[in-house]
Structures are given as structure tokens and as C-alpha cells.
Homo-oligomer: A and B are copies of this chain.
């Protein structure tokens, strides 16, 4: 019997994890694996780009978990700088374009993995393509930005967007010695938080010397006589800029899949079953930033571009493709980030997410510290907890603080997965010692307050 042929589209986390895991389960005699990557890198940490730009990390090599050569050593026929331009589902073949040679060809598959990732949202605004305007989605993007910074003598940076990429890039540019202005369309930075928690981020960014302008709708990128970027205009004002970084977020890269008739969801991502198999297609899997994932708290799919999910998807796909078994049950929406020493963590639903799916809820917000109050370095931490009205089921947690704040949401992430009530959470046996926590961990303090609020609301 001829070897089964696996084709993988996309050479980053999801695609190459899938290829590697399939290879572990099936040797080259049983399965041939061809992977296509249109860029210059494989298996890299796009999440590391802000730290590379900020000078904390040497790049780009340090951000590559596995090079093309290492993949080839595992008998994966990896074709770099080669873009898949078409999928013929019925004919079980894909069309590839070698971007170096310009040659195009069809190649067949028995099984197909789509891991085409996400692309940065680039609003159609005048001047968007001017030199000095940069996205930071890929290692190639990071390299291009760093080359621009080397040539830029001015010291004014404008970051468009105040989500996690935006705030991380604000820190990076600050570290590079730039005067940083963040233009934020929303009412507060970090729209993944409720506005009351986003306000704390705003205040902290102010304290760090980062100017954040909320409610700023960018209308055009201004350019100078040399054609380079010179500023950013909003409805209300103009912000001079020597370099502009776009951190507006991403959307699933599914043009190819949609053209092939594969099903996408309300957020534009491919729809899969729990084994990451594309719905209705027995021999096609998809994972990473191009799919929608089930939000276990909201009970509907969302699009979340995050390396940790992409890696899990790749593992699951590789197991299933290789004849094993694995499922990806879904997410609860955990994310952590930082701006200098400010830490931000969130998991589960925001108030508006809860309302959007018809959940009635209560909230409780407390202030505590990450260490015992008397222990050196104890810093304030604000925890907001959202619980379902009456049942008291945990719906979400947001934390803003300093050291030890962000990863504390992991406790809530597990509690959400387990469907715990805030009352059950008050009894959680969390680690206590003065250097690590007050005697009541901040998450427990929030849970206790949430219990009281649930009780008061239920009897009202």
C-alpha cells in the first residue's frame, strides 16, 4: 500500500505541531507529509515580536522553536516561501505557488490540515501603505519594523490600537527611547477588559509615561514630502509620528478556505468539530488562528488568535491525523499581558459578553495585594469577578496589578472549566505564604465578596 499523503498549509504553530505529532505517530513509510509556508520562518513565536522590538529578546532566531531544517530532519517535506493559492476539495489537491521561482503546481492529498493563521486588520485609510507604517503579526513584520527603526532619527511613535498587541508595542517603543502615543478607538485601553478595569490600565500607562488617547478614530496616515509617514490624523486631532505601529488586532485568514467552500462561522473563522476536523469534511482539519473556538462559558464560538491555542490544536490534529485520538474541548478566554511592570489578566466573560448571551449577572470588585501586606514589595491588585445571578456560577475574572497579578487568573480559568460557583471558590485551597499571597488570596477575597453580592441580589 502506498503511503498516505498529508498536506499542511501554514508553517507556524498549529500547522507544524500537527505535522510533527503526525510524524511521531506515523513513520515516513506510512505517511508522507508536505508542508507549505509562504514566509521565511517556521514554528515561531509571533507573541515574542514586541519583546524583540523592545530589545529584551534577541531575534529572530531566538523566537523560532523549530527551524525548517529541523522539520526536514523529521522527514517533513517543508516548502518555504511557497503559498497555497487554491484548494480543490473534491479533487483532493492544492495549488502551490513558489514565490521565489514564480512556478505554480498542483499537489494531491489524502488528508489536509489548514493552518493559515490570521492577518492584521488594516483599515482602508489613506497613507496606510506609507513607509514607516508597520504591523507586527509575523517575524517578517518584526524584522521590517526593526529595519525602519534603525533608519529613523525622529523619536515620536504612534501605536494604533490599545489591545494586548498595542500595549505591548507601546512598552517596546518606550524601551527603544520613543515618545509613545497610543490611539485607542474605545473608551479605555484593553477592550478585552470591562471599561472600569481598562481605566486602571489607562492610569498605569499614564504613570509609565505613555500617552493614551481614548475615543480616537484614525481617519488617515499623514506623509511628508519624502513619502514617509509623518503623523496620524483622527476625527479630532493630528499626532506627529516618525513611526506608526498597527496593533489593531487580527482576523482569521480564511480566503482560501472560503473559496474552497469550507464552512466559516460568524467571526470569520473555520468551523470544526471537537477533533478539529472541518465540519462536514472527513479528511480536512483546521487549527490555530484561522478557526473559531468554542467558548465554554458563553456557549458559542469565538475567534481568539493565541499561540497557546494554536499549539494545542496542532497536537490534537496531529494525533487524529496520525490515527490517534484527541479533542480540543474549547476555551474559557484566558489572556495575560503586561506593560512594563503592570500586569493584566482576564478569563471568561466580560459584562457585555454575559449580557450578549442572555446571562444575568452580578459583579464584585476588590482591592488586595499580591503578597502579605507587610511583606516587602506588596503592591495593589484589583480583582473583578462576574458571577451568574442566583446560581452564583463564576462567569469571569479580570485582574490588574503588579507582580503576581496576571497569572492569578489561571485559578479562575480552572474554576470556569469546572463550572464552579463563587461560593465553592471561597473554599479553594490556594497556596499561602507571606511572599506569595495575603492569608486570603485576592481571588478568594473577590469570591467572598461575590458570594455576598449574589446573595443580596437573589433576595432583592
Contact = CB atoms under 8 A, between A and B. Distances in A.
Interface string A307-342: 111011001000000000001110111111110000
B436 A407 contact: yes
A429 interface: yes
Contacts of A448: 315
Contacts of A58: 374
Contacts of A265: none
A252 B429 CA distance: 20
A338 B435 CA distance: 8
Interface string A1-20: 00000000000010000000
Given A57-B374, A57-B376, A336 B433 contact: yes
Contacts of A440: 308, 311
A146 to B, nearest CB: 16
Nearest to A335: B431
A414 to B, nearest CB: 4
Given A308-B429, A338-B436, A411-B414, 20 more contacts: A45-B434, A47-B372, A47-B439, A48-B434, A51-B375, A51-B434, A57-B434, A307-B439, A308-B430, A308-B440, A334-B429, A336-B432, A337-B433, A338-B433, A345-B431, A407-B407, A411-B411, A413-B429, A414-B415, A414-B420
Contacts of A357: none
Given A62-B374, A418-B414, A430 B334 contact: yes
A369 interface: no
Interface residues of A, number: 66
Given A13-B439, A440-B311, A409 B434 contact: no
Contact of A430 (B47, B413, B436): B413
Nearest to A327: B427
A306 interface: yes
B63 A374 contact: yes
A417 interface: yes
25 contacts: A45-B372, A45-B439, A47-B432, A51-B375, A57-B375, A58-B374, A164-B433, A307-B439, A308-B440, A308-B441, A309-B429, A311-B440, A332-B429, A334-B430, A334-B431, A335-B433, A336-B436, A347-B429, A406-B436, A407-B431, A407-B437, A410-B411, A410-B430, A413-B431, A417-B424
Contacts of A338: 433, 435-436
A404 interface: yes
A413 to B, nearest CB: 5
A340 to B, nearest CB: 11
A329 to B, nearest CB: 5
A332 B308 CA distance: 28
A56 interface: yes
A403 to B, nearest CB: 9
Contacts of A329: 427
Interface of A: 13, 45, 47-48, 51, 56-58, 62-63, 65, 164, 306-309, 311-312, 315, 327-329, 331-338, 345, 347, 372, 374-376, 404, 406-411, 413-415, 417-418, 420, 424, 426-437, 439-441, 448
A151 B436 CA distance: 32
Given A48-B372, A372-B48, A406 B418 contact: no
A337 to B, nearest CB: 5
B431 A336 contact: yes
A328 B429 CA distance: 11
Contacts of A434: 45, 47-48, 51, 57
A67 B374 CA distance: 15
A311 B372 CA distance: 14
A332 B428 CA distance: 9
A436 B311 CA distance: 17
Contacts of A417: 418, 424, 428-429
A333 B430 CA distance: 9
A371 to B, nearest CB: 10
Instruction: List 10 A-B pairs, minimum CB-CB distance, nearest first.
Output: A336-B431, A418-B418, A308-B432, A414-B414, A62-B374, A334-B429, A331-B429, A332-B429, A410-B430, A307-B439
Contacts of A65: 439
B433 A410 contact: no
A336 to B, nearest CB: 3
